């Protein structure tokens, strides 16, 4: 059974790594790794392949950056050539980036079954590009692997045949648990207490009326504890374009997976608009303030350490004060966030092959 495993952007790499590794152990499965190149430079791509032990991709599409339409269209053109050449029995896509949706559309039109890892997540906010990607991918996929029970229910409400849905758990946590000790051994200078920040979503960084108050909150927090900010290139450009100052914030270049996990695991608090960090902090037991008004991962609130602060300065500072006063209670971990999600995924694929 020939399987094309598709990755494209930084969040994908942590999700595909354990699946690729598990497929190597499975007799009869021939995994081919396809990198679309949506994230393509040293800091956003290459270092992650090294840190996670992902083999050199068998196919690189080299798409690069561009608008959503340009990037999606280019991926579709190039991925169609790969599908026609490789003639796969299955395409596996992960997450919710443009590469996920683009490759799903191509495979579906060529009548190649698609398995979506991390299916069923919903923010119910269609202004988010990721939400559109999730909806389209799940509508076309033949096999839907979910990370939480609420994702199962989302898919059923949308009319998905329950026989297509497989609750497998969270492959991001497979990667975290495997590399946690190695990350802890990385030598990196850091304060005894600190806040760790990531920001990249267009809704937060493209509007100065939203980004400004967030940065004001971070500057205020920096008067209490150091604020470390590995800054996304997009965010750095917006800060410069808008003329904002971050005098109290320690900006850093984007970090590799192991370096970032080291910082994340010992942070006093994480402030982020990333979905993946909501999940990781839940397992690490680190309080997380999500700088969005919604989340596609509500299980991190009910069974984790996540607090929905939104991009509002007052709410951010109030939530930060509560955490510093010890007014938060971690819970969890969520069901099947146990380091064995990839095993369950590959087992389902093998069972389908043998039918």
140-159 residue pLDDT tens = 999 999 999 999 999 999 99
Q: Confidence band (pLDDT; 50, 70, 90) for 138?
A: very high
pLDDT at 247: 86
Q: Answer for the pair 106, 81: CB distance below 8 angstroms, yes or no.
A: no
pLDDT at 221: 98
With 70 as the cut, is the pLDDT of residue 43 above it?
A: no
With 90 as the cut, is the pLDDT of residue 290 above it?
A: yes
What is the mean pLDDT of the segment spanning 294-307?
Answer: 96
Query: What global pTM score does this model have?
Result: 0.94
237-284 pLDDT, tens digit per residue, is: 999 999 998 888 999 998 999 999 999 999 999 999 999 999 999 999
The DSSP-derived string for 124-155 is S-TTSHHHHHHHHHHHH-SEEEESSHHHHHHH
pLDDT at 4: 98
The two three-digit tokens of residue 311, written as one number: 């991009």
* DSSP label of 42: I
C-beta contacts of 229-232 below 8 A and 24+ residues apart: 229/196, 229/197, 229/198, 229/199, 230/197, 230/198, 230/254, 230/255, 230/260, 230/263, 231/199, 232/198, 232/199, 232/200, 232/205
- Among 166, 179, 200, 303, the one annotated catalytic: 200
166 is catalytic: no
Task: Please tell me the distance from the alpha carbon of residue 35 to that of residue 62, in angstroms, as a whole number.
Answer: 8
Element (H, E) at 13: helix 10-25
Q: Answer for the pair 260, 47: CB distance below 8 angstroms, yes or no.
A: no
Reported as half-sphere exposure (CB side, CA atoms, 13 A), residue 28 has a value of 9
What is the mean pLDDT of the segment spanning 200-228?
Answer: 96
Of all residues in the chain, what percent carry a pLDDT higher than 90? 86
Task: Please tell me the distance from the alpha carbon of residue 309 to that of residue 320, in angstroms, as a whole number.
Answer: 9
Q: Answer for the pair 13, 51: CB distance below 8 angstroms, yes or no.
A: no
Task: Please tell me the distance from the alpha carbon of residue 306 to that of residue 301, in angstroms, as a whole number.
Answer: 5
With 90 as the cut, is the pLDDT of residue 90 above it?
A: yes
What is the mean pLDDT of the segment spanning 287-309?
Answer: 96
- What average pLDDT is seen over the chain? 94
With 80 as the cut, is the pLDDT of residue 46 above it?
A: no
What is the mean pLDDT of the segment spanning 67-78?
Answer: 95
Q: Confidence band (pLDDT; 50, 70, 90) for 176?
A: very high
With 90 as the cut, is the pLDDT of residue 198 above it?
A: yes
């Amino acid at each position: 059974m020939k399987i094309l495993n598709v990755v494209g952007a930084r969040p994908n790499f942590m999700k595909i790594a354990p699946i690729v590794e598990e497929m190597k152990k499975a007799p009869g499965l021939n995994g081919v790794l396809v990198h679309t190149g949506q994230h393509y430079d040293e800091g956003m791509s290459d270092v992650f392949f090294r840190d996670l032990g992902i083999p050199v991709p068998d196919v690189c599409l080299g798409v690069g950056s561009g608008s959503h339409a340009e990037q999606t269209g280019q991926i579709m053109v190039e991925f169609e050539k790969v599908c026609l050449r490789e003639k796969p029995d299955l395409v596996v896509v992960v997450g919710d980036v443009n590469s996920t949706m683009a490759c799903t559309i191509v495979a579906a039109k060529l009548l190649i079954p698609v398995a979506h890892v991390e299916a069923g997540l919903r923010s119910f906010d269609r202004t988010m590009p990721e939400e559109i990607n999730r909806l389209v991918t799940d509508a076309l996929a033949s096999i839907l692997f979910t990370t939480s029970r609420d994702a199962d229910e989302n898919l059923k409400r949308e009319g998905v045949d329950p026989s297509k849905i497989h609750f497998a758990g969270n492959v991001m946590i497979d990667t975290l648990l495997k590399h946690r000790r190695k990350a802890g051994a990385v030598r990196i200078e850091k304060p005894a207490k600190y806040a760790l920040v990531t920001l990249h979503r267009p809704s937060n960084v493209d509007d100065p009326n939203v980004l400004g108050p967030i940065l004001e909150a971070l500057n205020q927090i920096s008067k209490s504890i150091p604020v470390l900010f590995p800054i996304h290139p997009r965010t750095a450009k917006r800060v410069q374009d808008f003329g904002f100052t971050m005098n109290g914030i320690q900006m850093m270049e984007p970090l590799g997976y192991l370096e970032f996990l080291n910082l994340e695991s010992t942070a006093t608090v994480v402030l982020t608009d990333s979905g993946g960090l909501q999940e990781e902090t839940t397992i690490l037991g680190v309080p997380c303030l999500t700088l969005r008004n919604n989340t596609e991962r509500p299980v991190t609130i009910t069974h984790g350490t996540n607090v929905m602060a939104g991009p509002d300065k007052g709410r951010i500072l109030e939530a930060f004060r509560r955490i510093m006063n010890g007014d938060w209670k971690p819970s969890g971990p969520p069901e099947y966030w146990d380091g064995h999600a990839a095993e369950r995924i590959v087992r389902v694929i093998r069972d389908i092959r043998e039918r």
